[in-house]
Amino acid sequence: MISLTGLQDDYVHDGRVLFEILTDHALPEALRQHRATLTDLVRAYKDINAPLGKLGKRTLREATVAIGSSDARYIAFKAELAELTRRRDALATRMIRMIEDAEFGGIPIDEEAAGRLIQAARELLESDR
């Protein structure tokens, strides 16, 4: 609603503009210009950050195995998970900043930087941890 009305605020949002379902004329210029890349960026963000995204589901499966394993394996898993979480948080912060800047700040995205973030998300998903 904030984007559609053109209102401004100064906080990090708990949601995002669902630009995939809006027509171009309803979108700010920064979203129209980079719609395809932003779509890929939003998907990558969801994959690594949503509780039921790809990374969330993977870590849940791995946690279940570690819990059923030895104490040593579970302790090792917790350390691996802490590092994965640190990497994910750093990446997700950069991604959401870029998304919010385009959605609410009217700032066109840097296509190359967005591509690097998308690739980093893929690498995080493919990493052993």
pLDDT in 10s for each residue of the chain, 129 residues:
454 445 555 555 555 666 665 566 666 666 767 778 988 999 999 999 999 999 999 999 999 999 999 999 999 999 999 999 999 999 999 999 998 888 777 888 899 999 999 999 999 999 875
- 6-22 burial, b if ≥16 CB within 10 A, otherwise e? eeeeeeeeeebbebeee
What's the distance, CA 88 to chain centroid?
9
Q: Where are the domains of the chain?
A: 33-126
| 87 neighbors 124 (Cβ within 8 angstroms) | yes
Can you give the pLDDT at residue 105? 79
